[in-house]
Amino acid sequence: MDPSVGDLNSPHSMGTTIIGVTYNGGVVLGADSRTSTGVYVANRASDKITQLTDNVYVCRSGSAADSQIVSDYVRYFLHQHTIQLGEPATVKVAANLVRLLSYNNKSMLQTGLIIGGWDKYEGGKIYGVPLGGTILEQPFAIGGSGSTYLYGFFDQEWKEGMTKDEAEKLVVKAVSLAIARDGASGGVVRTVIINSDGVTRNFYPGDSLPLWHEELEPQNSLLDILSSSSSEPMVS
């Protein structure tokens, strides 16, 4: 039948751009908000950063159903673990629970996850658990279809020991770059900052994000852009 109807039977997946970044004192998690079934955007304002415990959050990508179910199971196991342990779970335990589910069910699951949080033993930590169930502790992690456009960007822009504001600005800039280039990412940018003080959720609507390159208004002459004094000529 016509392609638009066929899409509605496609599996519900999150094209996505997800990012997790450590800074001096905590972590910043960021994600776009587009969930697509084929080429139809099923949810333009989804929340891909899901809470596992008070101090650990996970960014979800890949199949929407698989990532939701894995987060639900891990939240349940972590809740039991916290009760048995008598203190908040560590980010390492949360990440390893995700890894065990992903690895042991690798033939049935199709989901890439970034776990980030803060605990009193190790401070802010980011763990990446891509397809297949590897676990990698990293100072920053990127995932989802939009992440392919960000490897070069992070190689250049990443610094150790950033402040909280620097880290969040970096995350927002990165997600908006990916949204500009990846058709499967879009909507708004959501960020979650986790540190010893607690958790802060932020929301950047699409129209407040910087524009990039061809998204600018057409100019009479390229010389007008190049001669402007700002260090980032392509930002409107």
Partner 1 sequence: LNSKFEMAKVEADVPPKGGFSFDLCRRNDMLSKKGVKPPSYLKTGTTIVGLIFQDGVILGADTRATEGPIVADKNCEKIHYMAPNIYCCGAGTAADTEAVTDTISSQLKLHRYHTGRESRVVTALTLLKSHLFRYQGHVSAALVLGGVDGTGPHLHTIYPHGSTDTLPFATMGSGSLAAMAVFESKYHEGLSGQKEYLRNHLLPNPRTYVSSKGYSFTKKTEVLLTKITPLKELVDVIEGGDAMEE
The answer to whether 22 contacts partner 1 (rule: CB under 8 A) is no
Mark whether 16 is an active-site residue. yes
Q: 91-104 vs 64-85: helix axis angle to the nearest 10?
A: 130
Q: Distance (Å, rounded) from C-alpha 178 to C-alpha 201?
A: 21
What is the nearest approach in angstroms of partner 1 to the Cβ of residue 1? 9
What is the nearest approach in angstroms of partner 1 to the Cβ of residue 133? 19
The answer to whether 145 contacts partner 1 (rule: CB under 8 A) is no
Question: CA 192, 195, 196, 202 torsion: positive or negative?
Answer: negative
Q: Whose Cβ is closer to partner 1: residue 57's or residue 140's?
A: 57
Applying CB under 8 A, which of residues 24, 65, 96, 211 lies at the interface with partner 1?
65
Q: Which stretch binds partner 1 (CB under 8 A): 37-45, 87-95, 164-172, 182-190?
A: 37-45
Cβ-based neighbour number of residue 65 at 10 Å: 14
Q: Distance (Å, rounded) from C-alpha 48 to C-alpha 60?
A: 5
Q: Which stretch binds partner 1 (CB under 8 A): 41-49, 99-107, 157-165, 185-193?
A: 41-49
Over 58-95, what HEC string results?
Answer: EEEEEEHHHHHHHHHHHHHHHHHHHHHHCCCCCHHHHH
Which residues of the shown chain bind partner 1 in the complex (CB under 8 A)? 4-5, 8-9, 11-12, 35, 37, 40, 42-43, 45-46, 63-65, 68-69, 108
